[in-house]
Amino acid sequence: MNTDNFLQQLREQGFKLTGKRRAIVDILLEQDRYITAKELIKKLRDLYPSISVDTVYRNLNLLKEEKIVEESEFGEGGSRFRIRCSSQHHHHFVCLSCGRTEPLLECPMGLVDMVPKGFDVVSHRFEVHGYCSQCKK
């Protein structure tokens, strides 16, 4: 997956292809981990020193709606965002220190019956938090 794939997908929906939008996707892609909006903005300012936070949030929301980006809430400093590189359903191990993610080996929903009878399941969330091999040292 590269930036152009994602931008192409947006263009097909009638959205435009701007330098700032490209930069947002670029950065998320080269990070490939959960980062806060703040971190993202900081990196964007290297290229676009005056980019406004609203633009970033508007783009993140658009990318979320298009399922290109996913959001998770852990730690401090607001939501964190990461790009969805794989289209296959899976969950993540998330490093509490650097935000790096690693796919988990299983999805619990498929393993056994988790949910008591009588409930309609719409979605589920599974996340394992800890420290990656680099950060645990």
Partner DNA sequence: TTCGTTGCAAAGGATTTGCAGCGTA
Partner DNA sequence: TACGCTGCAAATCCTTTGCAACGAA
Nearest to 40 by CA among 55, 11, 91, 109: 55
Q: Which does 19 bind (CB under 5 to 8 A by kind): DNA, a copy of itself, none?
A: DNA
Give the footprint of DNA on residues 45-84 (CB under 7 A).
Answer: 48, 50-55, 57-62, 76-79
Closest separation in Å from C-beta 34 to a copy of itself = 14
The least distance separating DNA from the CB of residue 47, rounded to whole angstroms, comes to: 11
Choose the one of a copy of itself, DNA, none that binds residue 105, judging by a C-beta under 5 to 8 angstroms depending on kind: a copy of itself
Q: Are 115 and 121 in contact (CB under 8 A)?
A: yes
Count of beta carbons in the 10 Å neighbourhood of residue 63: 23
* Interface residue list for a copy of itself (CB under 8 A): 73, 93, 95-96, 102-106, 108-109, 111-116, 118-133, 136
- Mark 31-50 with x for binding to DNA (rule: CB under 7 A) and - for no binding: -----xxx---------x-x
Instruction: Give the span between the Cα atoms of 102 and 109, in whole angstroms.
Output: 18
**Shortest Å, Cβ 70 to a copy of itself:** 14
User: In angstroms, rounded to a whole number, what is the distance separating the alpha carbons of residues 84 and 70?
Assistant: 7
User: CA-CA distance, 65 to 99, in Å (whole number)?
Assistant: 22
* Contact in structure between 57 and 37 (CB atoms under 8 Å): yes
Shortest Å distance, C-beta 32 to a copy of itself: 16
Question: What is the H or E stretch that residue 108 is in?
Answer: helix 108-111
Q: Which residues bind DNA (CB under 7 A)?
A: 10-11, 14-21, 36-38, 48, 50-55, 57-62, 76-79
